[in-house]
Amino acid sequence: MYKIATILAVVAAPAFSAGLEIDLEGEANGTIVIDLFEETAPLHTAQITAIAEAGSYDGVVFHRVIDGFMAQTGDVQNGVMGSDLSRAGTGGSEFADIPAEFSDMPFERGVVGMARAQNPNSANSQFFIMFEPGYFLNGQYTVVGEVTEGMDLVDQIKRGTGANGAVIGQPDMMAAVRVTE
């Protein structure tokens, strides 16, 4: 019941044009800027904004990074730097999962999409940034925004290994995440 009330409170928040500033630390150091697409994915952007405003994304690692594809982060439950990262990528947030908000926006370089499990309605807090176009994701994952500044920094994020892109050793992280208007 708490999760339902929480998501309703997030969705009822006033609408505004939001974005994120993310300070990266690791092999990539600097600030990236993301424009969030509130009209395309209002539920997803509201939840991301709420998580960022609470400071829950601060210190969260990029746990899955596949060269030529994408960099994934946002596991506020199991992906916080300094914790046991063996389960990074398996958690979410205190909020409920979000119903899919698929659109006709293509997954181009720099697009930000919501990660999810096999269930299309299972997105929560994790998101990914595309290194290259991934049109096979079109209509199957929710587009929530795009990087408008700092793609050169995104390109520097430490890559993972193997087919799943798991990052070995010290992963890069989102040191601080701020909501912008």
The pTM for the full model equals 0.91
Mean pLDDT, the chain, integer: 92
106 burial (CB, 10 Å; 0-12 / 13-18 / 19+) is middle
Q: Is the pLDDT of residue 6 over 50?
A: no
**What's the confidence (pLDDT) of residue 84?**
92
User: Which pLDDT tens digit goes with each residue over 156-171?
Assistant: 999 999 889 999 999 9
Give the separation between CA 138 and CA 162, rounded to whole angstroms. 24
Cα atoms in the 13 Å half-sphere on the side-chain side of 120: 10
Could you give phi then psi for residue 161, rounded to 5 degrees?
-125, 165
Amino acid at 121: N
Domains identified in the chain and CATH numbers: 2-180 (2.40.100.10)
C-alpha closest to that of 47 among 10, 102, 8: 10
Average pLDDT over residues 68-85: 96
Give the separation between CA 80 and CA 55, rounded to whole angstroms. 12
Q: Is the pLDDT of residue 2 over 80?
A: no
**What's the confidence (pLDDT) of residue 16?**
52
